Amino acid sequence: MARILAVDDSPSMRQLVKLALSSGGHEVDVATDGVEALLFAEKQQFDVVITDVNMPNMDGISLVRELRRRSNYRFVPLLMLTTEATAERKQQGKEAGATGWLVKPFDPDRLLSIVTKVLT
Amino acid sequence: MCAKAADLRCRCATLGVSAEAAALLLAFAMRESEAPAVELGSALQRLDRGLQPAAPGAAREALTRDLAACVRALQFHDRLMQQLAVIRNLLTRLADHPLPQMAGFGAQRWEELLAALRERLAAESHDELFELLVRSGGVGLPGSAREAQAEGSGELF
């Protein structure tokens, strides 16, 4: 079981990600944007962070960049979960330090298998 | 000449008000639809929790599959909200600056306006949505097929 932080400004998406990952036995915390996610990440250590890209206050790519600056998140899997699928945006995510890029809508089983894969 | 200028100003002002009203209606509709979607998500969470102690078997597997289908389907609400938010923002900007941008209503002006709006759209999907909205028969654009292929995909770097 892993401790996962799911970051999305959409309440329904936060619920769905939490539902999908909780059913796999993971403990899931949720944050509404990059700023809140950073606060949570400073208070506790997460094993995986899954974040949307377009969010108010701080977007997902900036969040990944900020997390990678912290020594305790240098090697933690950081996954982007977004509707955006352009090569340019993916490259931006990769350069920021993201571990992977998942395009919405996600399949719950597939999300779980990806999380399992990045954890091993 | 004066009457023509006054008429143009009137049409510009009307367009600005219409754009603002449309933006407000969109914002209202988005707010209205958020609560039912969240309620649906909560109901799914409760269903999932309720299923945990249930006896395993074919019925349990079928329910799990149904839950997964609900999770996938409900995500389209989020996507719709994102696209509506882009439209709302565009309308708000139109309402903010109706006169300088809308002076003149010839075909060339309209094309200039469309080009200016298109530049403001960051995401590819938003661009395609915009195309669908402003041009009839825009369904089936090559980009739409590309995006449909990308949906649900995953890539580890």
Q: Domain residues of chain A, as ranges?
A: 3-115
This prediction has a pTM of 0.70
Nearest by CB: A19 against B37, B44, B155: B44
DSSP per-residue letters across B25-74: HHHHHHHHHHHHHHHHHHHHHHHHHHHTTSPPSHHHHHHHHHHHHHHHHH
Tokens of A51: 């974040």
CA dist., res. B25 & res. A39, Å (int): 35
* Residue from B72, B121, B129, B144 whose CB has the most chain A CBs within 10 Å, to mutate: B72
Residue B154: predicted pLDDT: 83
- Domain count for chain B, please give it: 1
Residue B137: predicted pLDDT: 36
Q: Is residue B59 a part of any domain in this protein?
A: yes
CA distance B32 to chain A (A): 13
Q: Is residue B128 a part of any domain in this protein?
A: no
Residue B63: predicted pLDDT: 79
Condensed to tens digits (0 to 9), the pLDDT of residues A4-24 reads 999 999 988 999 999 999 988
Condensed to tens digits (0 to 9), the pLDDT of residues B93-128 reads 776 665 444 455 555 566 666 666 666 555 555 666
Into which CATH architecture does domain A3-115 fall?
3-Layer(aba) Sandwich (3.40)
Q: What percentage of chain A reaches a pLDDT higher than 90? A: 83
Nearest chain B alpha carbon to A54:
B82
* Interface confidence: ipTM more than 0.90: no
CA dist., res. B54 & res. B85, Å (int): 41
